[in-house]
Amino acid sequence: MEAFDFIIVGAGSAGCVLANRLSENPDHRVLLLEAGPKDSNPFIHMPLGYAMTLKSTTLNWQFPTLPDPHTHNRIHKWPRGKALGGSSSINAMIYIRGNPGDYDGWQQMGCTGWGASDVLPYFMRSEDYQHGQQPGHGVGGPLPVREPAYVHPMSKKLMDACAQFGLPRRHDLNIGVQEGVGLCQFTIDRGARMSTARTFLRQAAHRPNLDIRTEALAHKILFEGKRACGIRYQNAGKIVDVAARQEVILSGGTVNSPHLLELSGIGDAARLNAIGIRPLVDLPGVGENLQDHYNAALSWQFKAGTPSINAMARGLPLLGSLMRYLLRRDGMMSVGPAHITAFAHTRPGLKSPDIQFHATPATLDGDAYAQNKLVFHKEPGLTLGACVLRPESRGSIHAKSADPQAYPDITANYLKTQTDQETMVDALKQTREIMAQPAIAPFVEKERDPGAAAQNDADLLAFARETGTTIFHPVGTCAMGPADDKRAVLTLDLKVKGVQGLRVADASIMPRLVSGNTNAPAIMIGEKAADLILGKTPPAAVAWPCHGEQPSG
């Protein structure tokens, strides 16, 4: 059996970081396995190609949830990256770290060493910040962090409206107080997506001690007793076993990591026996604690002649934008779909924002989108979505059979709790208040969805249940926790409880969802996991420039 020191399963946001950091030592032989293809599709690298990668059936898994009883029994499709770079190759490229109180909250839950001042050095180590070294930001790292090279004029109007509503303008939503509105920071450089494959992995790919294998679907973890000793995977119809001399690290993400653990006999023993898998370790927390940001969006039709991506997405304007991008790498196609974001409170007494807004100066035909077709409305418009940042609702992800090619069952449980329902309704009310501000109201012809028929809280909640869905931030299914936490899957150094030689390093390790987009935190987890695996002394703690904000609840 071919042997490596470290085997990493999953070349996503964290896995590519690990491949880079673990292979820096030429004495370490490292194998990186990815179920999807190479990141050669041109839509991956064109930022506005996001619209195509999001609906792709070859570049992402398109996991279906089970019918969700809390959202009209709908099945939600979860795009998760299935290519080198993982979800960093198909996402909207927004770089948001979350609130420092999120990480201090982890520490208060018993996750010592994961507080805000502990994780900030890892965020800084990864990045090459556009404006240079300064408090809270680093330079020289593999990951470019940039402000948008192009901002749509109606995005600017919306920023003005948010300020009139009472959300302070922020020049940097990753440091300072989080509440407010500002330009998104992106993992984009010179008009190209900077996935972890394009940055961390490309930097390391030439090393003779790093072996990268694509189209390699992991079937199970191999064990000698209770020590992980390798991986069985499938490539081109053949089953291959490879050995790990030191460790196996799962970086498959919030869906695939718990699924592979269960396929390998690690999980709730009764559940595994019921689907024909012989339990190795009874670990009931595997696949539990699922959390995600549920997003519902209102849309407005603008008056004729108002600038909108709708008009730019067809005919000569589209051709002009494409030519501008190809010649100059700027313009509409050089940035992600959302140019600005905002954080707000829905009620007094909260120590930090509990909702986030994402805005796109365009509107889509929802029926066509549900059928994987991207059709913009002919009339100009804008979509303003809101998500509940710290949901109480919890779901689960579990293997449905011993077949490694069968997708697991995903129970989302969106809007299950009353608090989540009330927060969502309050968020939708705020979107209407923002759009009623004088900076943007004169451009509005009408509210397209849900429209004038939705007037009271019950109407808005029904609209959210009927139309909302994931905003692609699932976490928590292999949660870390202190030794006395019976539901925790991992120790604080990310080792799987009850076995040796096996860790998990991806967004599934989060005990609680962060207040913002999850790609930057997943990269941070990869950075910190590398130090833990190599036994390095952690960097000195660095005070987060923002203090005084803590999440409540």
Can you tell me the distance from the alpha carbon of 312 to that of 154, in angstroms, rounded to the nearest whole number? 13
- In eight-state DSSP terms, residue 333 is G
- Rounded distance between C-alpha atoms, residue 134 and residue 245, angstroms: 41
Give the residue from 201, 194, 257 showing the smallest Cα distance to 23.
201
Positions in the chain whose pLDDT score sits under 70: 367-374, 546-553
Predicted local distance difference test score (pLDDT) of residue 370: 59
Report residue 434: phi and psi, to 5°: -65, -45
pLDDT of residue 372: 57
* C-beta separation of 50 from 93 below 8 A: yes
247 touches 254 (CB < 8 A):
no
Cis status, amide bond into 142, omega within 30 of 0: no
- The per-residue pLDDT for 539 is 96
Catalytic residue annotation: 473
Q: Are 102 and 111 in contact (CB under 8 A)?
A: no
In what helix (H) or strand (E) does residue 33 lie, and over which residues does it extend? strand 30-33
- The angle formed by the CA atoms of residues 476, 223 and 282, to the nearest 5 degrees, is 50
Give which of 24, 2, 535 is closest to 244, Cα–Cα: 2
CATH code: domain 1-51+80-145+193-287+398-404+474-553 is 3.50.50.60
Distances (CA, A) of 264 to 275, 488, 497: 12, 18, 14
pLDDT at 553: 33
pTM value is 0.96
Six-digit token string for 369 = 């989108």
CA 74 remoteness from chain centre: 22
Show the CA angle centred on residue 102, arms to residues 101 and 106, nearest 5°.
110
- Pairing between strand 77-78 and 63-64? antiparallel
* Cβ(497)–Cβ(266) below 8 Å: no
Rg, the chain, Cα only: 22
The residue type of 200 is F
Nearest to 279 by CA among 287, 270, 288: 270
Query: Which helix or strand (DSSP H or E) is residue 203 part of?
Result: helix 202-204
> Which residue type sits at 43?
F
CA distances to 45, 158, 228, 450 from 338, rounded to whole Å, are 17, 12, 42, 21
| Bridge partners for 227 per DSSP | 224, 500
